[in-house]
Structure 1
Amino acid sequence: MNGVAPPELDAKAQTLHQRILGDIERRIVSGEWPPGYRIPFETELTEIYGCSRMTVNKVLTQLAAAGLIERRRKAGSFVSQPRSEAAVLAIHGIEAEVTALGLPYRFELMHRRQRRPTAAERLTFALEGSGPLLALTCRHFAGDGPFCLEERLIDLEAVPQAGKADFTREPPGVWLLGHVPWTVAEHHIKAAAARGEEAALLKLEPGSACLVVERRTWRGDQFVTAVRFTYPGDRHQLVARFSPS
């Protein structure tokens, strides 16, 4: 015996490896096993699938390398918190960030009202008059967990059709990208502590670290929208790729 497994046994092991890998990936991506869920121990998985511990260990190692699980010594393996990457200079919908993680996406419109701008807003956004603004608050989800909080203002003098848009069916960011061409955008990125209501909506402890992205867009000289995205700080990162000028 030279220690090399016969081809048919090796193929069988590979098939079982893919089956276990596919089963666990499906449970994670579907949300059946949410972030933080403890995956059965290696010994439990060997009993469930009737395989060697080495096969299970290889599967878990592959899942950890893909970022789907975290392996903690003596504690076991746990489904990872979703981590997203967003380009600093890109403008795209939150749904694209979530689906890139392989997680189901949904959103809910929590607040909507029209109001006049404050003096500070007229100065900040260079508003010439005191025409109405549409104030929106949305919560975006990745799987079963809150992914991002969106707080947005839309200038109804620049975008009057937004006053009748149904933002319960389509997120405001996606709607704006499809209906209003913009020419200039500005990003502000900072760290902030989660505030009371904000922390509750994101299911965080008050004072937890968050990543905040504030964006303003204009069409020519006319202000269109300002939005504040708040992400749990340990689940999001911003990426920029650039070349020397």
Structure 2
Amino acid sequence: MPSQEQPLYQRIYDDIKAAINDGVYPPESKIPTEAELSELYSVSRITVRRAIEDLSNAGYLIKRRGLGTFVCAPRMRRSVLRGGMPRSFTEICHAAGYRPSTRLINKEIVTARPDEWEFFGMEESDLLLHIQRVRMADELPIFEENVFLPYEDAKTLTSKDFSGTSLFQLLEEMYGRQPKNYQRVLVQSVGASSTRAGALQISVGEPLLYVTAYALDQYDKPLYIGRQYYVGSRYMLDL
């Protein structure tokens, strides 16, 4: 007759999940190692590993190579591909009770790539303004934001400080243009490079959701291209 006793890995799963929910292991904290949990529960490391993997799949934990296993920060949600523009990151933070902030990484004039020529209707020799920032919630990096705008249309933005400013608000105030819809959105999974991992405070190779969005303004004219790298363990996109 099959035993009705709770599997050992399930007990470990339930205990760690309860500890996370009760604040014993706060977001971004490191949990005990597999060896420590194996000794604590008097079970094999295989049993512990199964519980850890299930907790990771459920969004409670994330493994960082060479560093250990950490508690995921509560994930905010943002909808894309469902018609219209999503709420701004600032609005999402406020709704979730977080304090939004921004760190400017770079602001530069660059040459356009083929998809950018096509979207903006540019010549190959035309230039773009590239604004690269890290967006944070309660000082925790959530994603790297890269925005590209035609330089001739947005050259006055080069003098602006983007470290604590809403780009959408500036576009509306200075040019009377608002992002209203996407022409198309491309989504793929990539591993964090060493530079990106440092900026986002994650380990090299950690999964990122790479989203390229081609935004139109209220007149259905091309406004900007956004290339964002979201930390999957901290931010959830509803596709």
Q: TM bucket by the smaller chain?
A: 0.5 to 0.7
Task: Specify whether residues 37 and 129 from structure 1 end up closer, same or farther in structure 2 by C-alpha distance, changes over 3 A only.
Answer: closer
**CA deviation map 1:155-188 (0-9, x unaligned):** 1233344334332330324433554234642322
The answer as to 2:74 corresponding to 1:82 is: yes
Are 2:173 and 1:181 aligned?
no
Cα distance change of structure 1 residues 221 and 173 upon mapping to structure 2, 3 Å threshold: closer
CA distance in structure 2 between the aligned counterparts of 1:227 and 1:149, rounded to whole angstroms: 10
SS in 2 for 1:163: helix
Instruction: Give unpaired runs (5+ residues) of structure 2.
Output: 1-22, 31-59, 62-69
79, 96, 114: which one aligns with 2:109: 114
After the TM superposition, which residues 143-182 of structure 1 pair with which residues of structure 2 at under 5 Å, given as runs?
Answer: 143-176=138-171, 179-182=176-179
Residue pair 2:108, 2:130 contacting (<8 A) in 1 also? yes
Write out aligned runs for 1:25-44 (5 A).
Answer: 35-37=27-29
RMSD (Å), alpha carbons = 3.2
Match of 1:205 in 2: 203
TM-aligned CA deviation for residue 222 of structure 1: 4.6
In the TM superposition, what whole-angstrom CA distance separates every residue of 1:98-139 from its partner, at most 9, and x where no partner exists?
Answer: 223212221111101123324563245432463331111101
Quick one: structure 1 residues 223 and 129, their matched pair in 2 at CA, closer, same or farther if it must change by over 3 Å? farther
Length-normalised TM-score, structure 1: 0.59
Give the number of equivalent residue pairs: 174
1:41 is aligned to none
- Structural mapping, 1:65-80, within 5 Å: none
Structure 2 match to 1:195: 193
Q: Is the 8 A contact 1:158 1:224 kept in 2?
A: no
- The residue aligned with 1:132 is 127
1:230 and 2:224 matched: no
Quote the Cα distance in structure 2 between the aligned partners of 1:100 and 1:136.
Answer: 26
Structure-2 separation of matches of 1:111 and 1:192: 21
Q: How far apart, in 2, do the equivalents of 1:130 and 1:221 lie?
A: 24
Determine if contact 1:159/1:180 at 8 Å carries over to the other structure.
no
Query: Which AA in structure 2 matches 1:238?
Result: L
**Mapped contact 1:211–1:236 kept (Cα < 8 A):** no
Q: TM-score, normalized by length of structure 2?
A: 0.60
Q: C-alpha deviations, 1:169-222, integer Å up to 9, x for none? A: 303244335542346423222222112211111111111111222211234575
- Following superposition, the deviation at residue 85 of structure 1 comes to 0.6
Moved more, 219-228 or 138-147: 219-228
Q: 2-side partners of 1:129 and 1:157: how far apart?
A: 14
Identity of aligned residues (%): 20
Q: 1:79 to 1:143 in 2, by over 3 A?
A: farther
In structure 2, the partner of 1:215 is 213
**Kept in 1: contact 2:168–2:179 (CA 8 A):** no
Amino acid at match of 1:83: R
CA distance in 2 between counterparts of 1:85 and 1:110 reads 24
Partner Cα separation in structure 1 for residue 94 and residue 156 of structure 2: 28
**Mapped partners of 1:169, 1:202: distance in 2:** 17
